[in-house]
Amino acid sequence: MDYKFKQIEEKWSKAWSDTEIYKVGEDPNKKKFYVLDMFPYPSGAGLHVGHPLGYIASDIIARYKRLNGYNVLHPMGYDSFGLPAEQYAIESGQHPAITTKKNISKYRKQLDKIGFCFDWSREIQTSSPNYYLWTQWIFKQLFESYYCNIENKALPITQLIEKFKSDGNKFINSPCDKNTPNFCSKDWNLWSEEKQQKILLKYRLAYISETVVNWCEDLGTVLANDEVKDGFSERGSYPVTQKKMKQWSLRITAYSERLLNDLESLDWSESIKEMQKNWIGKSEGLKLSFEIYGFKNQKIEVFTTRPDTIFGVSFIVIAPESKYTEIVTTTKQKNKIQKYCASSSKKSEKDRQTNNKKYTGIFSGSYAIHPITKKKLPIWISDYVLGSYGTGAIMAVPCGDQRDWEFAKKFKLKIPNVFSNVDTNEKAYTEKSATITDSDFLNNLDVPSAIKKAISYLNNKGLGTVQTNYRLRDAVFSRQRFWGEPFPVYYKNNIPYMVEDKKCVKLPKIDKYLPTKDGEPPLARANKSDWNIFKGDRMEYNTMPGWAGSSWYFLRFMDPLNKSSFVDIKKSDYWNQVDLYVGGAEHAVGHLLYSRFWTKFLNDRGFINFNEPFKKLLNQGMILGRSNFVYRKKGTNTFITYEKISKFNVSKVHVDIELVKNDILDLNKFKNWRSEYRNSKFLLNENGKYRCGFEIEKMSKSKYNTQNPDSLIEKYGADTLRMYEMFLGPIEQFKPWNTNGINGVHNFLKKFWKLLHHDHKFSVNREKLTTEEEIIINDCIKNVTKDIDKLMFNTCVSHLMTALNNLIKLKCNKYKVVKDFTRLLFPFAPFISSEVWEMLGEKELINDSGWPKYKMNLGELRPINLPISFNGKYRYNIDIDQSLSIEKIKEIVSSNPKTIHYLGSKKIKKIIIVPKKIVNIVF
C-alpha cells in the first residue's frame, strides 16, 4: 500500500475539526503553557512559505507540551488593518473590509491545510469592531492617565487634577510637554475648563503634539517612509517634503528606564535585547547653555556626553528645524538660510545621517559664547544634527567626533586638539584612552576623570546640569488613513474629548478612500450622519497606526469573546505571560517594544498582573525571496532596462515576480499591473527585451517576491512541507527559499510507511527488542527530546531520519519501537502519525499519549572510538573500552605501531588525553 498523504490528511483534518480537539479552557489542575505566533497581516497574495516557518515551530512546541501534560493555549488571528488593503481600495473602490474578509478566508484555508493545532474558537481580527472597541478603550485609559516619576508608574489623571487643585504643579514630578508653564493652585482653580484641559493634555500619556511627516503635495497625502524612494513617492514619482502636523502621540518615553531595566528578566536572545537597548539609547551627560553673542537672554542648550572636551569646542551646530534657527538667523544670511532649510526638509532623517560624506550647512551669521573661555564660537546650521534628538543643537568638538571633524574640514573651521600625543589632522580621535591637554583645569587627566571633573565644575558654576538622555522618542499614534482604528475622540473648540462609555466608534462610510482636497485625512469625507457616534464640533479624522492592535492582542486571546472587559483578570492571571513567542526578527524593536509598553501600562493601572508580555522569544529567521526590480528614470514614466541604468538617474522599484521570467519583464502584464503603469515607456536592451535587476531580500508582499505553499502541499502533502521547512536549517537563521531538497523529506515519510507494510497490509512485529534496536530508539528519544527543548528542529528531523535508516537496515518494525517513534514524529508530522497510531490500535488519542522517556545509561559501556592526533593533526583511531584508565590508554597509544610510524625519529614531549574525546601526542 502506498503512502496516500492526501487521503490521510483530509481524514484527520476533518476529524480534528469535528471533535474540536484543540479547544482549550482554563484548567487549574494543569500547568498552563501559552505559545503564540506573531499573527499575520492577511495580504491579497495569501500565505507565503515564510509565514509557516514560525507557525510550524510553535505548532511543534504546542503539541510537544501537550504530550508532556500541559494545558496549551495556542491561538491564531489576523492583524487585519493595514496599508495594502487601503491602497487596493483606492485603486478599485472596493471597501477594505471586503478585501480583508476575502483574504482572511484564503489564509484560513491555507492554514488549515498545514494541520496546525490552533484553537480557532479564539480567533481575533484587529479590524473587527468587537476587537477595536477595546483598542480604543486602552487608548482612552492612556488618555486618562499620567506618569508619576515618584511612584514610578502610570496613575489616573484624576489624581493629578486633585494635586493641581491643592498645590498647582509645583510638586509634580511627571513627564510632560517641554512648554508646560509653572502654576499654583489659585491659577488652576481660576482657569476655564478649556484652559485646564489644555494643561492636562501636556501630562496625559496620550497627547497631541506637532511632528514631522512625509508630505506629498501631488498625492495630497502623507506617505509612509516605505512609500518614499529617494525623496520621491514610489507611486507616481512625485516629490515628497517634510511637513509638521498635529498628531496624537503616546508618552512611551516615560517608560524608558523600565523598558531598559526589565530586559534583564527576559529570556530573549542577547542580540534582540541589545537592539532594544540601543533603540532606547540611554546616555548620561550634561546639558550646557551657550549664550548667544549680542542677545542677553537667549541661550542655546546643547546635550553632550563628553564634557571633558569642552575646551575643544570650536563651533555650534543647530538643526535646520530647531527652534533656535529663527533666533540666530541674521538678516544678511536670511535668504540663504531659508533656502537651505527648504532643501533639507526634502531629505529623510535616514538620508541626513547616511550621506555624511557630503556634509552640507550654512553659517547663521551669529556667534555663541564659550561658557568658560568666553571665546566667540560661530553658529552653523546643518542637517547632520537632528531636531528630534537631544536639544536639536550640539557643541561641535571636531578633534573628538568624526562628524564634527568632517564638517570642520569641509567648511574650514578650526580643529583645536585637546588630546595629548594624538594626531587629529587626519581624523578625529573618538576613543577614550588619551590624556586631556590644552584644557585649563582638565589638563593631564584621563577621559573618565576629566568627564567627572568637568561635570562637577560646570554644575557648580551653574553652567550645566546633569541629564540622562534617551534616544527613544514618543510614539506618533496618528495616521492619515482610512483603514485603521478610528479614535474614540471628538473635538469641542479644538480641544479633544473622549467618547464616554464602552461604545465603539466605528469607521464611517465614505465615498472615496482618498484624502480631501484640503489634505485632510479620508475620514474628513464622512458626514455627521455617517458616524455611529458623533459628538462635539467634529470627530477625530486620523486613525491609529498598524501597531495599535498588535500591541495587546496576546491578552485578548485569553478571553476573546468578553463583552464587558478587554480581558477578565482571572483569565489573564491563569494564562499569564506568553511562555514562548515566535516571530520574525524584523519586529525586534517596533512591535516588541510597543507591546512591552502597553503591558506595563495596563499593569500599572491594575488591569493585569504582570508587566512583561513575552517571557521567551524565538525569532525565526526570515525566508528570503528573490525580488525583481524595474528602474524608472526619475520624475518620468520611462523604465530603463538593467543593462543601461548606469547612464541615467533612476529610482529602483519592486516589480511582482509573477510578471517576470528569468529576469525578463513581460511588458504587457506590467502595463496592466497598475493603472499608473498603463502608459509606461521602456528603454530596452539589444535583444529588444526589458531585463530586471534582482536581489535576495526578505519575502514580503510589499516586495512582490512571495512564493506560496499550496502547490507543494498538493504535490507532497502537509506533513512533508512541515518537516521540510524545519529541515531547511536552524529556525533563527535567514535562508533563501528553494525546494531542492523536499523529496528527501518526503522519501523519509514514504520509507516509514513502507516499513510498516508487508504485502500491502499494515503489520508490526510484537517481539521483544534486541539491545541494538533498543539503543537505536533510545538514542532517538534522547536526541529529539534534547533538541526540541533547544528549539533545534532541523536536527530533530535528522535524528528521526538516522533512526529510521538504522531500523530499516535491521528490518525492525517492532511494536514498541514503532509506538515510540510515532509519538516522536507526531509534533512534526501529525497526520501520518495519527494514522499510524490508529493502525497500531491504540485506544487513547496520540495527542495526549505522553512523550517517550529515555534511559540515561543505555549503551554507556560500549567500546568507543578514540581519535589519535599528532600535534593536533588527526592521524588514526583505536577502539577501546570506556573504563580504561588514562595511564593504560597512554601505554596502548604510545606502543601502537602507527604512533611509532608517525613519530619517525622524533621523541614524544607530552601526551594529552581528554577522556572519551581525543588523544593528542605532542612531539
For 483, counting Cβ atoms within 10 Å of its Cβ (0-12 exposed, 13-18 middle, 19+ buried), the class is: buried
Alpha-carbon distance of 113 to 837, in angstroms, equals: 20
- Choice from 735, 757, 816, 890 touching RNA (CB under 7 A): 735
- Choice from 270, 426, 518, 759 touching RNA (CB under 7 A): 270
Least separation in angstroms between residue 847's CB and RNA is 26
Q: Residue 113 or residue 746: which is nearer to RNA going by CB?
A: 746
**Binding span for RNA by CB under 7 A among 178-186, 595-603, 646-654, 797-805:** 797-805
List the interface residues with RNA, window 60-79 (CB under 7 A).
Answer: 79
**Binding span for RNA by CB under 7 A among 27-35, 448-456, 651-659, 800-808:** 800-808
Beta bridge partners of 583: 619
Least separation in angstroms between residue 865's CB and RNA is 4
Kindly determine how many residues on this chain lie close enough to bind RNA according to the rule CB under 7 A.
102
List the interface residues with RNA, window 644-673 (CB under 7 A).
Answer: none
- Choice from 356, 420, 468, 532 touching RNA (CB under 7 A): 356
C-alpha cell at 81: 488593518
Phi, psi (degrees; rounded to nearest 5) at 817: -65, -45
Instruction: Give the Å distances, CA to CA, from 703 to 529, 547, 674, 777.
Output: 39, 20, 15, 45
Least separation in angstroms between residue 779's CB and RNA is 11
- Choice from 1, 98, 861, 922 touching RNA (CB under 7 A): 922
Q: Residue 102 or residue 299: which is nearer to RNA going by CB?
A: 102
Question: Is 197 within 8 Å of 495 (Cβ atoms)?
Answer: yes
**Binding span for RNA by CB under 7 A among 112-120, 374-382, 675-683, 867-875:** 867-875
The reply to whether 87 sits near RNA by the rule CB under 7 A is no
Draw the binding track, 234-253, toward RNA (x: CB under 7 A; -: no contact).
Answer: -----------x-x------
Least separation in angstroms between residue 560's CB and RNA is 19
- Choice from 34, 482, 727, 837 touching RNA (CB under 7 A): 727
Question: Is 406 within 8 Å of 400 (Cβ atoms)?
Answer: no
DSSP category for residue 915: T
- Choice from 457, 534, 682, 734 touching RNA (CB under 7 A): 734
The DSSP result for 102-148, as a single string, is HHHHHHHHHHHHTT----GGG--BTTSHHHHHHHHHHHHHHHTEEEE
Least separation in angstroms between residue 638's CB and RNA is 26
* CA dihedral of residues 384, 388, 391, 394 (deg, nearest 10): -10
List the interface residues with RNA, window 110-139 (CB under 7 A).
Answer: none
Draw the binding track, 616-645, toward RNA (x: CB under 7 A; -: no contact).
Answer: ------x-x---------------------
Give the count of beta carbons closer than 10 Å to the beta carbon of residue 481. 25
Q: Residue 366 or residue 551: which is nearer to RNA going by CB?
A: 551
The reply to whether 874 sits near RNA by the rule CB under 7 A is yes
CB within 8 Å of 297: residues ≥ 6 apart: none
Alpha-carbon distance of 520 to 280, in angstroms, equals: 33
The reply to whether 792 sits near RNA by the rule CB under 7 A is yes
Least separation in angstroms between residue 291's CB and RNA is 30
For residue 319, the one-letter residue type is: A
Q: Residue 471 or residue 671: which is nearer to RNA going by CB?
A: 471
Question: Is 126 within 8 Å of 550 (Cβ atoms)?
Answer: yes
Q: Residue 164 or residue 541: which is nearer to RNA going by CB?
A: 541
The reply to whether 298 sits near RNA by the rule CB under 7 A is no
DSSP category for residue 480: S
What 3-state class would DSSP assign to 249? strand
Least separation in angstroms between residue 270's CB and RNA is 6
Q: Residue 7 or residue 353: which is nearer to RNA going by CB?
A: 353
Alpha-carbon distance of 126 to 702, in angstroms, equals: 20
Draw the binding track, 25-44, toward RNA (x: CB under 7 A; -: no contact).
Answer: ---------------xx---
- Choice from 730, 765, 815, 894 touching RNA (CB under 7 A): 730
Give the count of beta carbons closer than 10 Å to the beta carbon of residue 366. 24
Least separation in angstroms between residue 797's CB and RNA is 7
Least separation in angstroms between residue 629's CB and RNA is 11
Draw the binding track, 537-556, toward RNA (x: CB under 7 A; -: no contact).
Answer: --------xxx--x------
Alpha-carbon distance of 643 to 647, in angstroms, equals: 9
List the interface residues with RNA, window 564-603 (CB under 7 A).
Answer: 585-591
For 627, counting Cβ atoms within 10 Å of its Cβ (0-12 exposed, 13-18 middle, 19+ buried), the class is: buried
- Choice from 90, 880, 884, 918 touching RNA (CB under 7 A): 918
Question: Is 709 within 8 Å of 52 (Cβ atoms)?
Answer: yes
- Choice from 35, 60, 83, 337 touching RNA (CB under 7 A): 83
Q: Residue 82 or residue 400: which is nearer to RNA going by CB?
A: 82
Q: Residue 23 or residue 917: which is nearer to RNA going by CB?
A: 917
CB within 8 Å of 745: residues ≥ 6 apart: 720, 723, 724, 727, 797
The reply to whether 882 sits near RNA by the rule CB under 7 A is no
Query: Is the CA virtual torsion 828, 830, 834, 835 positive or negative?
Result: negative
List the interface residues with RNA, window 470-529 (CB under 7 A).
Answer: 471-473, 475-476, 478-481
C-alpha cell at 751: 520509507
List the interface residues with RNA, window 740-779 (CB under 7 A).
Answer: 740-741, 743-745, 747-748, 750-751
C-alpha cell at 445: 587627566
C-alpha cell at 717: 502533502
The reply to whether 196 sits near RNA by the rule CB under 7 A is no
- What residue has cell string 487585519? 80
The DSSP result for 500-529, as a single string, is -TT---PPPP-S-SS--TTS--GGGG--GG
Least separation in angstroms between residue 698's CB and RNA is 4
**Binding span for RNA by CB under 7 A among 336-344, 364-372, 561-569, 909-917:** 909-917
The CB-side HSE value for 650 (13 A sphere, CA atoms) comes to 23
Least separation in angstroms between residue 701's CB and RNA is 8
- Choice from 208, 213, 219, 397 touching RNA (CB under 7 A): 213
Least separation in angstroms between residue 481's CB and RNA is 7
List the interface residues with RNA, window 152-171 (CB under 7 A).
Answer: none
- Choice from 180, 802, 894, 896 touching RNA (CB under 7 A): 802
Question: Is 391 within 8 Å of 303 (Cβ atoms)?
Answer: yes
C-alpha cell at 576: 499569564
List the interface residues with RNA, window 670-709 (CB under 7 A).
Answer: 695-698, 700, 702
Q: Residue 33 or residue 821: which is nearer to RNA going by CB?
A: 821
Angle subtended at Cα 302 by Cα 297 and Cα 305, rounded to the nearest 5 degrees: 150
CB within 8 Å of 371: residues ≥ 6 apart: 288, 289, 290, 291, 310, 458, 461, 463, 464
What 3-state class would DSSP assign to 49? coil
**Binding span for RNA by CB under 7 A among 174-182, 444-452, 822-830, 873-881:** 873-881
**Binding span for RNA by CB under 7 A among 312-320, 572-580, 631-639, 864-872:** 864-872
Q: For strands 693-698 and 735-736, give the pairing.
A: unpaired
For 876, counting Cβ atoms within 10 Å of its Cβ (0-12 exposed, 13-18 middle, 19+ buried), the class is: middle
